[in-house]
């Protein structure tokens, strides 16, 4: 027997460990299971190179709770330790890990969010246990060892008669950590951290139907058939899948396998994913994983499913900020890399070269995949566009490399459901939609119903009208406009009368003289609220509407951009301002001007103004009621 003092510079390290890791106590289990996994895979390796003369068998890790004894036990069939190894690895090396940890975090100033990711190792057991025992027998022909430590720097190490190979860690759970004696709690933790662990983990047993038992059907004397119940047998409850899809080669997987994996990863998600991207790189860093493009859903609970980060099949976090580019954080799936430094702060992570490369690699892979989906089956890509557009548009805005790639597959659908790429759109509209000054105007609507009359007016001229309705589209239009030759401009169909949006040379002759116009303007201005509407007299086609409400493109776009972050400072809070375009060539406008009855004149203006508001969905409440009353009067 040997008694000793762990080489401690801090008087009592354990209360400190407990204190610093307050919110992350649960990681002790992940740490101990990881050690058990390492011990098993190391032994497998030693056997394979002929270093260990033993059989691995179906080595598994067993977790068990003894409520009476208040213990939680983690048992493996790995390589085990000799007395000297316990002395070396547990008393010296494991301790140095714990000490290093304390050095880093003892002033409490460090980013607490990363503490859970720090490999504190074996000593994290003392976050929940008042005493820890190790029973271990090495694969080497040496006596087993029994180590006991009660959380003070003192330990005892004695020989033991354990005869089976491997290590058993027994945690005597502290009174303030009794939750770790609950089956549900432990099962929950195993599921969170270890459901794809490399070595099978047994947690209790479960009953299943006996596959070797065929239930007999007996026919009684009345001819009634009864089948005997199925025989059940008790088997180990293995909680993990040791071979998840992302660890396999893409060539060995069918579409169905990816679908099944998505379901396995997010059992509460009923919607299937749109497509997947299998990541697999081993230089200049190691990274495997599968990313899924989800169907966007309104259900916020579903949006909670995030990309999960693993390190050698052990769950680390679902906060992948800094590792996965922002615009891809709406994706789902798994990435697994032994190369991501986890024991550092987030800001350090973002500056880390390897991490930057990983982020760049993921962006490239996603771009390549989208590009090949577009090329291979454009029809299908168009069908999925609505679900993926926000991610792609966001990516085009935030990553220049992605923008360059995505320009060839980002789509611009028209109100008639034709999908153009940007180049196709330019080609299709360059002759018809270029104005007299050489500006190439791309028309769009944000809502087919609300802007119906404007869309119709543009279509009547033979123009293409896009339907662009994502929340960040105004930013993308801005970028597309500024990255070309400056001649291409987007304009919403209701930004002005269509003849003004794309001004051609053929000017329409004005029916009204300048004097008549001067007389008309104040009459109309007197009838509409001047703080919201600017009256604009235009000589338009006599068939165009007499009154029309428009919102100048620049004004509206800046307001929209402010609402989604960007645009010009302060524009978001400006009140809504509109133009009231009055078509001086329309007969109704002549009638208004020539009317000698002032009441009649006012009534005509109000009616026409209300109709214009109605077509912009701006007529509500009392104004709408008055409009309806007035309209009935007219048809009486
Ligand atoms: N179940 C086990 N079987 C065999 N050896 C073990 C076992 N658990 C721990 N050890 C030994 O004790 C050492 C220290 O363990 P500890 O968990 O503190 O650190 P680590 O696993 O080396 O690193 P990390 O900080 O990543 O956990 C291990 O390197 C290993 O040699």
Q: Out of 160-164, 489-493, 558-562, which region has the weakest mean confidence (pLDDT)? A: 558-562
CATH at residue 442: 3.40.50.11260
Instruction: Please report how many Cα atoms fall inside a 13 Å half-sphere around the Cα of residue 316, on the Cβ side.
Output: 25
Task: Report the nearest atom of ligand 1 relative to the CA of 123.
Answer: 18
Query: What does the pLDDT average to over 341-361?
Result: 71
If you ran DSSP here, which 8-state letter would residue 135 be given? E
Strands lying side by side in the sheet with 201-209: 2-5, 154-160, 144-149, 129-137, 166-173, 71-75, 61-66, 201-209, 232-238
- For the ranges 62-76, 441-455, 465-479, 605-619, the maximum mean pLDDT occurs at 62-76
Is residue 543 marked as binding? no
Task: Report the nearest atom of ligand 1 relative to the CA of 93.
Answer: 14
Claim to verify: residue 152 and residue 265 sit in the same structural domain: no
End residue of a domain, out of 186, 203, 220: 203
Centroid of ligand 1 to alpha carbon of 39 (angstroms): 8
pLDDT value of residue 552: 85
Is residue 76 marked as binding? yes
pLDDT value of residue 358: 86
User: How many C-beta neighbours within 10 Å does residue 347 have?
Assistant: 10
Q: Which residues contact 446 (CB under 8 A, 6 or more apart)?
A: 467, 468, 469, 492
Cα-based distances in Å from 467 to 33, 295, 634: 54, 20, 37
Residue 613: φ, ψ to 5°: -65, -40
Is residue 97 marked as binding? yes
The answer to whether 171 and 182 are in contact (CB under 8 A) is no
The residue whose CA has the least distance to atom 19 of ligand 1 is 121
Claim to verify: residue 496 and residue 540 sit in the same structural domain: no
Q: Is the pLDDT of residue 626 over 50?
A: yes
Claim to verify: residue 156 and residue 293 sit in the same structural domain: no
Query: What does the pLDDT average to over 197-214?
Result: 93
pLDDT value of residue 572: 61
Q: In this predicted model, what pLDDT tens digit does every residue of 374-392 receive, in sequence order?
A: 999 999 999 999 989 989 9
Task: Give the DSSP H or E segment for 542.
Answer: none
Cα-based distances in Å from 440 to 118, 265, 478, 490: 57, 48, 14, 8
Task: Report the nearest atom of ligand 1 relative to the CA of 35.
Answer: 8
Rounded to an integer, what distance in angstroms lies between the CA atom of residue 60 and that of residue 197? 11
The residue whose CA has the least distance to atom 16 of ligand 1 is 121
Rounded to an integer, what distance in angstroms lies between the CA atom of residue 287 and that of residue 281? 5
Centroid of ligand 1 to alpha carbon of 120 (angstroms): 10
The residue whose CA has the least distance to atom 9 of ligand 1 is 35
pLDDT value of residue 111: 44
CATH at residue 529: 1.20.120.790
Task: Give the DSSP H or E segment for 85.
Answer: helix 83-85
CATH at residue 15: 3.30.565.10
Rounded to an integer, what distance in angstroms lies between the CA atom of residue 3 and that of residue 454? 89
Centroid of ligand 1 to alpha carbon of 125 (angstroms): 12
Measured in residues, the chain has a length of: 636
**Angle CA 130–133–139, to nearest 5:** 155
Query: What does the pLDDT average to over 230-249?
Result: 94
The answer to whether 562 and 572 are in contact (CB under 8 A) is yes
Query: What does the pLDDT average to over 284-295?
Result: 90
End residue of a domain, out of 203, 227, 254: 203
In a domain, 582, yes or no: yes
Rounded to an integer, what distance in angstroms lies between the CA atom of residue 540 and that of residue 530? 23
Give the total number of structural domains in the chain: 4
pLDDT value of residue 354: 74
In a domain, 147, yes or no: yes
Rounded to an integer, what distance in angstroms lies between the CA atom of residue 370 and that of residue 356? 21
pLDDT value of residue 455: 95
Q: Out of 35-44, 93-102, 129-138, 150-159, which region has the weakest mean confidence (pLDDT)? A: 93-102
Rounded to an integer, what distance in angstroms lies between the CA atom of residue 376 and that of residue 369? 10
End residue of a domain, out of 203, 231, 255: 203
The answer to whether 149 and 182 are in contact (CB under 8 A) is no
Query: What does the pLDDT average to over 359-364?
Result: 90
CATH at residue 261: 3.30.230.80
Claim to verify: residue 252 and residue 163 sit in the same structural domain: no
Centroid of ligand 1 to alpha carbon of 123 (angstroms): 9
Q: Is the pLDDT of residue 527 over 70?
A: yes
| 12 vs 269, more confident | 269
In a domain, 401, yes or no: no
pLDDT value of residue 116: 41
pTM: 0.81
Is residue 570 marked as binding? no
Residue 250: φ, ψ to 5°: -55, -35
> For a pocket test of ligand 1, which of 14, 122, 124 has the largest count of ligand atoms closer than 8 A to its C-beta?
122
Q: Measured in Å, how far apart are the chain's first and last C-alpha atoms?
A: 111
Claim to verify: residue 309 and residue 419 sit in the same structural domain: no
Note every long-range contact of 460-465, with CB atoms under 8 Å and residues 24 or more positions apart, other chains counting.
461/498, 461/502, 462/432, 463/429, 463/432, 463/433, 463/498, 463/502, 464/414, 464/418, 464/420, 464/425, 464/428, 464/429, 464/433, 465/414, 465/415, 465/493
| 268 vs 262, more confident | 262
Confidence of residue 104 (pLDDT cuts 50, 70, 90): low
Closest Cα to residue 579, out of 493, 495, 490, 491? 495
Claim to verify: residue 167 and residue 119 sit in the same structural domain: yes
Centroid of ligand 1 to alpha carbon of 241 (angstroms): 23
- For the ranges 126-130, 295-299, 539-543, the maximum mean pLDDT occurs at 126-130
The answer to whether 15 and 27 are in contact (CB under 8 A) is no
Centroid of ligand 1 to alpha carbon of 89 (angstroms): 7
Claim to verify: residue 426 and residue 287 sit in the same structural domain: no
> For a pocket test of ligand 1, which of 63, 73, 121 has the largest count of ligand atoms closer than 8 A to its C-beta?
121
Q: Out of 46-60, 338-352, 468-482, which region has the weakest mean confidence (pLDDT)? A: 338-352
pLDDT value of residue 499: 87
In a domain, 404, yes or no: no
Confidence of residue 297 (pLDDT cuts 50, 70, 90): low
Centroid of ligand 1 to alpha carbon of 78 (angstroms): 12
ipTM of the complex, rounded to two decimals = 0.97
Task: Report the nearest atom of ligand 1 relative to the CA of 169.
Answer: 1
User: Cβ < 6 Å from ligand 1: which residues?
Assistant: 31, 35-36, 39, 76, 78-81, 89-90, 93-94, 97, 119, 121-122, 167
pLDDT value of residue 110: 46
Is residue 121 marked as binding? no
Is residue 96 marked as binding? yes
Domain with 161 in it: 2-203
| 137 vs 99, more confident | 137
Centroid of ligand 1 to alpha carbon of 281 (angstroms): 28
Centroid of ligand 1 to alpha carbon of 121 (angstroms): 6
pLDDT value of residue 1: 66
Strands lying side by side in the sheet with 314-317: 275-281, 287-293, 332-336, 307-311, 314-317
Q: Is the pLDDT of residue 243 over 70?
A: yes
Rounded to an integer, what distance in angstroms lies between the CA atom of residue 148 and that of residue 171? 10
Claim to verify: residue 497 and residue 524 sit in the same structural domain: no
The residue whose CA has the least distance to atom 29 of ligand 1 is 89
The residue whose CA has the least distance to atom 20 of ligand 1 is 121
Confidence of residue 611 (pLDDT cuts 50, 70, 90): very high
> For a pocket test of ligand 1, which of 27, 33, 38 has the largest count of ligand atoms closer than 8 A to its C-beta?
38
**Residue-wise over 498-522: b if at least 16 C-beta within 10 A, else e?**
bbbbbeeeeeeeeebeeebeeebee
The residue whose CA has the least distance to atom 31 of ligand 1 is 89
- For the ranges 80-84, 548-552, 630-634, the maximum mean pLDDT occurs at 80-84
Confidence of residue 345 (pLDDT cuts 50, 70, 90): low
SS (H, E, C) 380-393: HHHHHHHHHHHHHH
* Residue 64, beta-bridge partner list: 73
Query: What does the pLDDT average to over 167-196?
Result: 96
**Residue-wise over 366-385: b if at least 16 C-beta within 10 A, else e?**
bbebbeebbeeeeeebeebb
- Two structure tokens written together for 69: 């004894």
Claim to verify: residue 186 and residue 49 sit in the same structural domain: yes
Rounded to an integer, what distance in angstroms lies between the CA atom of residue 365 and that of residue 395? 13
The answer to whether 266 and 301 are in contact (CB under 8 A) is no
Claim to verify: residue 280 and residue 193 sit in the same structural domain: no
In a domain, 221, yes or no: no
Claim to verify: residue 478 and residue 535 sit in the same structural domain: no
In a domain, 463, yes or no: yes
The residue whose CA has the least distance to atom 11 of ligand 1 is 89
Closest Cα to residue 297, out of 274, 315, 263, 327? 274
Task: Report the nearest atom of ligand 1 relative to the CA of 76.
Answer: 1
In a domain, 528, yes or no: yes
Centroid of ligand 1 to alpha carbon of 187 (angstroms): 23
In a domain, 332, yes or no: yes
Q: Is the pLDDT of residue 456 over 70?
A: yes
Is residue 167 marked as binding? yes
Rounded to an integer, what distance in angstroms lies between the CA atom of residue 561 and that of residue 572? 8
The residue whose CA has the least distance to atom 23 of ligand 1 is 121
Q: Is the pLDDT of residue 579 over 70?
A: yes
- Mean of per-residue pLDDT scores for the chain: 87
Claim to verify: residue 518 and residue 443 sit in the same structural domain: no
Closest Cα to residue 408, out of 457, 357, 369, 374? 374
Confidence of residue 554 (pLDDT cuts 50, 70, 90): confident
The residue whose CA has the least distance to atom 8 of ligand 1 is 35
- Two structure tokens written together for 375: 């090329």
Centroid of ligand 1 to alpha carbon of 47 (angstroms): 19
Q: Is the pLDDT of residue 263 over 90?
A: yes
């Amino acid at each position: 027997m040997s008694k000793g003092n762990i080489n401690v510079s801090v008087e009592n390290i354990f209360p400190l460990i407990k204190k610093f890791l307050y919110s992350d106590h649960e990681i002790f289990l992940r740490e101990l299971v990881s050690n058990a996994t390492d011990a098993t895979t190391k032994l497998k390796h030693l056997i394979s190179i002929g270093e260990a003369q033993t059989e691995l068998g179906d080595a598994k890790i067993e977790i068990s709770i003894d409520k009476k004894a208040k213990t939680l036990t983690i048992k493996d069939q790995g390589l085990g330790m000799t007395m000297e190894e316990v002395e070396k690895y547990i008393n010296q090396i494991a301790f140095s890990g714990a000490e290093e940890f304390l050095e880093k975090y003892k002033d409490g100033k460090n980013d607490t969010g990363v503490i859970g990711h720090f490999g504190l190792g074996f000593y994290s057991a003392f976050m929940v246990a008042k005493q820890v025992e190790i029973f271990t027998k090495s694969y080497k022909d040496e006596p087993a060892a029994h180590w006991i430590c009660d959380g003070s720097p003192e330990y005892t190490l004695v020989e033991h008669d354990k005869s089976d190979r491997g290590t058993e860690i027994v945690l005597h759970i502290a009174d303030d950590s009794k939750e770790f004696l609950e089956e549900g709690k432990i099962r929950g933790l195993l599921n969170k951290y270890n459901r794809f662990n490399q070595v099978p983990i047994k947690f209790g047993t479960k009953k299943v139907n006996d596959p070797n038992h065929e239930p007999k059907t007996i026919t009684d004397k009345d001819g009634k058939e009864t089948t005997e119940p199925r025989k059940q047998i008790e088997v180990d409850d293995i909680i993990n899948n040791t071979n998840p899809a992302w660890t396999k080669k893409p060539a060995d997987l069918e579409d169905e396998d990816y679908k099944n994996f998505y379901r396995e990863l997010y059992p509460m998600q009923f919607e299937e994913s749109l497509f997947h991207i299998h990541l697999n790189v081993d230089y200049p860093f190691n990274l495997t994983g599968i990313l899924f493009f989800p169907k966007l859903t309104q259900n916020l609970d579903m949006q909670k499913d995030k990309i999960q980060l693993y390190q050698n099949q052990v769950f680390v976090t679902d906060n992948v900020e800094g590792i996965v580019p922002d615009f891809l954080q709406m994706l789902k799936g798994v990435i697994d890399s032994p190369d991501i430094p986890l024991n550092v702060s987030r800001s350090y992570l973002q500056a880390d070269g390897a991490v930057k490369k990983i982020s760049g690699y993921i962006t490239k892979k996603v771009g390549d995949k989208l590009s090949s989906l577009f090329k291979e089956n454009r029809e299908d890509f168009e069908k999925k566009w609505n679900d993926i557009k926000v991610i792609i548009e966001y990516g085009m805005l935030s990553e220049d490399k992605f923008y360059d790639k995505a320009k060839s597959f980002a789509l611009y659908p028209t109100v008639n459901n034709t999908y153009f790429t940007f180049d196709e759109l330019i080609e299709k509209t360059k002759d018809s939609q270029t104005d007299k000054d050489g500006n190439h105007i791309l028309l769009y609507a944000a809502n087919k119903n609300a802007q119906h009359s404007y869309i119709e007016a543009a279509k009547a001229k033979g123009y293409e009208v896009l339907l662009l309705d994502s929340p960040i589209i105004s930013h993308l239009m801005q970028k597309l406009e500024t990255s070309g030759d400056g001649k291409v401009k987007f304009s919403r169909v209701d930004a002005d009368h269509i003849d003004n949006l794309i001004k051609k040379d053929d000017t329409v002759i004005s029916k009204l003289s300048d004097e008549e116009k001067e007389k008309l303007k104040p009459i109309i201005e007197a009838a509409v609220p001047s703080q919201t509407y600017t009256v604009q007299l235009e000589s338009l086609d006599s068939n165009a509407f007499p009154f029309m409400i428009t919102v100048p493109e620049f004004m509206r776009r800046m307001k929209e951009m402010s609402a989604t972050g960007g645009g010009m400072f302060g524009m978001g809070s400006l009140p809504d301002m509109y133009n009231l375009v009055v078509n001086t060539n329309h007969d109704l406008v002549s009638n208004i001007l020539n009317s000698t009855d002032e009441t009649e004149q006012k009534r005509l203006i109000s009616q026409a103004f209300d109709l214009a508001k109605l077509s912009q969905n701006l007529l509500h409440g009392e104004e709408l009621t008055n409009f309806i009353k007035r309209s009935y009067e007219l048809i009486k």
